[in-house]
A and B are shown apart, each in its own frame.
Chain A
């Protein structure tokens, strides 16, 4: 997108990118180790975020059935995050959804496994 500045605000922001620089700056500054951010770095981060949104949307859409589909859903995103190495950092915030009954069953099975292992040696558990 060749976004020339369409209607700059008072401070002349919103050049080349659609995402508000002020908001991007707030998020960046919330990172504890960061002291200051040069204006170019801010603009590039905003632009990169736009590219990322495009990438995530198209990737997830394609990752779905592959047939012509009418909608992009949450599960498309969750499944893409899980399957893509590059998007691993999103796996925690985009967890797959499962039925509560299934989750409870999984917990129960895990507990039973742990009870079984109580009697074995440490090595046995590592190899399991």
Chain B
């Protein structure tokens, strides 16, 4: 795989912000320390991915899922992360559900509206909406692969 070294790094600005928010006010971070933490974070992703993948393979699956990641955290002795991660997962699922319901509602509203409009004109708009909605749903449900 032709990844350039920079692609495997995380953006400095975000890393710095996370560090600053974690430490007490007024504490400085040397450039070297920040760069080291950034490297460590990339290594962490690799380690977590490899670990999670083992769980997926054990379950005879080719796609990494949320529970694989949670199991990996326990395996890596980061149990402290499990609860906040589960909360984040629930929040994410609620958000996804909200979005789906919102777009379904929009479609219902649109259908109601077109009943009282000209048939030809409304059919054209409907098709456009449907395309857009389908595309949105596809983007959300799509598994992330090459």
Q: CB within 8 Å of B: which residues of A?
A: 1-2, 5, 11-12, 15-20, 23-31, 33-45, 47-58, 60-61, 69-74, 76-78, 81, 85-86, 89-90, 93-94
| A43-B88, A44-B88, A45-B69 known; A72 vs B23 contact (CB < 8 Å) | yes
The secondary-structure label for the interface of chain A is: helix
Q: Which residues 50-86 of B sit at the A interface, judged by CB distance below 8 A?
A: 50, 52-53, 57, 62-66, 68-70, 73, 76-78, 80-81, 84-85
Is B45's CB under 8 angstroms from A24's CB? yes
> Within the assembled complex, what's the spacing in Å between the Cα atoms of A29 and B49?
9
B133 to chain A, nearest CB (A): 14
**Number of B interface residues, CB 8 Å?**
68
In the complex, besides A16-B95, A19-B14, A57-B29, 7 extra interface pairs with C-beta distance below 8 angstroms are: A29-B1, A34-B64, A37-B64, A45-B49, A52-B40, A54-B22, A77-B33
What residues of chain B have their CB less than 8 Å away from a CB belonging to chain A?
1, 3, 7-11, 14-15, 17-19, 21-23, 26-30, 32-33, 36-37, 39-50, 52-53, 57, 62-66, 68-70, 73, 76-78, 80-81, 84-85, 88-89, 91-93, 95, 139-140, 142-146
Complexed CA–CA distance, A76 and B44 (Å): 18
Find the B residue at minimum CB distance from A46. B45
Residues of B within 8 A of A23 (CB): 7, 9-11
Whether the Cβ atoms of B69 and A56 lie closer than 8 Å is no
A87 to chain B, nearest CB (A): 8
> Is the pair B26, A70 in contact by a Cβ cutoff of 8 Å?
yes
